[in-house]
């Protein structure tokens, strides 16, 4: 049962990020092949980096179901695009849920490998963020994680809460998974709605040049 739920989380995360990548690519007016490539990279980028760091087989190379899910999701998103009016909102929703789902997957992989909690948090953040980073670089955009928006911070908070609840709380494991996924989505959504931002560095004029 536990393994089935973990697989469901991975499938949902893959669908969410595939949709996110597809809509981002269509915003840039890429052709269908480009949309599929961006969707694939967004979905597997973070997990690929995570598996390489853990020195384990890369998940999608041994499970063609994930590749099939990405392909089907990409085609559906291209069809859905003709009915979708608010592009930006749709992209945000799928990206937020993909972030939450994949972050928890990454943390669990770290726990399975019996790594230090801090490393588990890093793996969760990498799994959640790196697909989006690669997507934005390929689309010639500054990645969200490097901008003012709360992005990686949501992953870090969610990962830390997940580890604390697993270790000290008496809730069921499934409840902790669902709660922390929704927590990451909520932090991301509230940050955008209320304009929560990380401090930024500004270029200050050099007095010697004035």
Please give the pLDDT value at position 87.
66
Please give the pLDDT value at position 103.
96
Per-residue pLDDT 10s for the chain (210 aa) are 677 888 899 999 999 999 999 999 998 999 999 999 999 999 999 999 999 999 999 999 988 899 999 999 999 998 887 666 666 787 888 999 999 999 999 999 999 999 999 999 999 999 999 999 999 999 999 887 777 668 889 999 999 999 999 999 999 999 999 999 999 999 999 988 887 777 666 666 665 444
C-alpha dist (Å) from residue 26 to 114, 134, 185: 40, 16, 23
142 HSE (CA, 13 A, CB side): 5
Question: Which residue ranges make up each domain of the chain?
Answer: 2-200
What distance in Å separates the CA atoms of residue 199 and residue 69, rounded to the nearest whole number? 38
Number of neighbouring beta carbons within 10 Å of residue 24: 24
Record the tokens describing residue 69, joined without a space.
Answer: 């899910």
Scan for tokens 């931002």, then name that residue.
Answer: 197
Alpha-helical regions (H) of the chain: 2-27, 32-54, 64-81, 87-112, 117-138, 152-168, 173-193
Number of neighbouring beta carbons within 10 Å of residue 97: 22
Please give the pLDDT value at position 196.
79
Please give the pLDDT value at position 210.
47
Please give the pLDDT value at position 91.
82
Give the contacts of 143 (CB within 8 A, at least 6 positions apart): 132, 133, 136, 137
């Amino acid at each position: 049962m536990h393994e089935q739920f973990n697989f469901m989380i991975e499938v949902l995360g893959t669908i969410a990020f595939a949709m996110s990548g597809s809509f981002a690519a269509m915003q840039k007016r890429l052709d269908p092949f480009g949309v599929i490539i961006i969707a694939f990279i967004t979905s597997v980028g973070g997990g690929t980096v995570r598996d390489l760091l853990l020195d384990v087989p890369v998940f999608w190379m041994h499970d063609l179901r994930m590749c099939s899910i990405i392909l089907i999701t990409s085609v559906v998103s291209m069809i859905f695009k003709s009915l979708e009016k608010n592009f930006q909102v749709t992209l945000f929703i799928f990206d937020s849920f993909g972030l939450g789902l994949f972050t928890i997957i990454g943390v669990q992989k770290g726990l399975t490998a019996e790594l230090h909690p801090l490393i588990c948090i890093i793996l969760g953040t990498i799994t959640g963020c790196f697909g989006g980073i690669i997507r934005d670089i390929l689309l010639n955009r500054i990645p969200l994680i490097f901008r003012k928006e709360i992005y990686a911070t949501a992953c870090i908070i969610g990962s830390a809460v997940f580890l604390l609840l697993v270790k000290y709380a008496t809730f069921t494991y499934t409840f902790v998974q669902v709660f922390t996924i929704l927590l990451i989505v909520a932090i991301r959504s509230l940050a955008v709605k209320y304009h929560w931002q990380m401090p930024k560095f500004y270029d200050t004029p050099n007095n010697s040049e004035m």
